[in-house]
Structure 1
Amino acid sequence: MSSQPGSNEDMSEENLPGERSDAHHGAVQPVGDPFADPGLPPHEPRRQDIDERTARRSERVVAFLFTLSMLATVGFIASYVTLPIHKIVYIFPIGHVSALNFALGLTLGVALFCIGAGAVHWARTLMSDHEVPQERHPIEASPEVRQQVMADFAQGAKESQLGRRKLIRNTMFGALALVPLSGVVLLRDLGPLPETKLRHTAWKKGMLLINQNTNQPLRPEDVAIGSLTFAKPEGLSDDDPEFQDVIAKAALMIVRLKPEDIKDKRELDWGHEGIVAFSKICTHVGCPISLYEQQTHHVLCPCHQSTFDLSDGGRVIFGPAGHALPQLRISVNDKGYLEALGDFAEPVGPSFWERG
């Protein structure tokens, strides 16, 4: 039976492209390597390698970038010190932004960018650009390889011309020395220097207790037994730009207890006919206390459930709060209004290192 053209028998006699048949073993072997290593192209010198004037020009460019970084860092610090926090400016096409935030971001970005750009330009124009191929090897290097690495490092340091290009070296050191000052200055933004601000509030002797809901001075008859009233210092308006800062420390809660239910003698002496005033700020993390249990005389912080006994000096009876609520000493003036007899005897709110 004759074979037809294109049959399987004919195909077995033919070789696939790029292969040859072994006459003795019938094996098919590839001809040549289709992925041969082309090698590295011949090295071409740069203008800076053959022209010292061009090299000097590149040196000045790198030094300019490092100097610009130093100036930007100085601008960052100057912006932080001089620009007011609440100033808003219009920047096209961004729109209205904080002048301080924009200045800080711009100057710090320029400082970091110029250091990076200067280092890249230095490496591309003045450092050695010879490519050195190396075969892959196990992670653990032999002593010969370690020695070669150290020799290559020393050679690279020499070829960087750091000792020769003093202008680059000095400006680079200046930029690297100044840019960390940006971070040091930012540490100032962890918070205002407290000085004695944590120990004092807006309450002063003779200052009236103002009902925070009605904005009217409080009289003893306005405070009923079992009620919880919130008060603020006299002269503090909700429209005042400093209102939140002041009320965050001066917020007051007032309750009226039966004198015989008050367990702490000082608390009784600091009140008026069973009316006592305590700080509204929880001594755990500063949340405003707003839940009052009339039968037990307990107030509860809604954030972490710290519970205070207002009939026993505001002491902590449950929760993570560290100390009792500060009490404000109050009395009644000659016009019949409740007034403060001074500031809190101890700092309000959460503990701090210097509290003592």
Structure 2
Amino acid sequence: MRPHDPELWNNFGAYEQQHGRIDQAITAFETALELDPENYDAARNFANVIWAARGDRSRAIELFDIALKNPDLAHRRETLAHRAGWAAFRDREIETARSLYAEALNGELLPNVAASWARMVIVFEPPESLATIEPVIDEILLTAPRHVTAISLKAMCMWWLHGNIEDAKLLVLNALDEFPEDQTLLSTSVHLSLAEGNLDLAESLLPRLEKVVGREDSEEISSYRAMLGICRGRSLSEVAALLNDLASHDNLNNLAILLWAQGRDAECADLVGRISTEPLGYQGRVELDILKRLIGGVKDYADLAGQLLDPTGLRALAAHPELSESRRHQLHLVLDVVSPA
């Protein structure tokens, strides 16, 4: 290796990050920037990894600002999309994210930019927005048929919009054969396997995802392990313990429903009050509404008909042996009306 070549250090950092060796990746990106403070690729890569792995928002923004000085317009647009993604998914600053994406999308289609925007729409926008992004995803795949984020998003559209979970899972698994260490594909494969009820496949994929993520205790891994635990009939208190120290909005919703399932209504209500003050995506808002109704013993959920909600967790919980019959009945009232079926 040429020790004074910043491009080699940047490429080495990307390789280490892809293989879950985060500390080595950070060192490599730092070295690349020390050798060339205007290495815009290294600055952007470093920003992404340090925000994801260390939660260092201020340093990441400084690095994004360096990357945005790149005179290449396409590179700047992609950097804006990266920054927008963090605004949406980490900070939940949705208006900021929309503004950044609007600027990033201004011009000819860039697959990475369009895919990043589509991912935000799936998570944070209402269901009627989903139909507008599927043609964009199809256009990305025409331009870049091996684009892993677009493949994962297409699979989610196949499931959520068309109810075709089997083909959605096959699409992602076929791509995973080509990109066996891609975190997005692995995560989507685990998600779809759990949703389909293929627990053995989900369990076999989790160690691979752990290796790529680089941490067994990450929120993503813990959330999937909790879901698998519910599906396997593991004690609800043990499953709740997996989520208890996780701070993300999605996991707080998951923890709240587990508290409700155990009859710990006061604790659930306190947590729901806390969640209510947080910025939530579309599905998070629907889940919060359902939680409030469950706590209140509401029996009529007809107005939720047509709402898109990932039913995987609720279905598993409704079948759990520890759940009381009255609470099982309440969950079935919800599951009877939400989509996808």
Q: TM-score, normalised by structure 2?
A: 0.28
Larger radius of gyration: 1
> Larger relative CO (CA 8 A, sep 6+): 1 or 2?
1
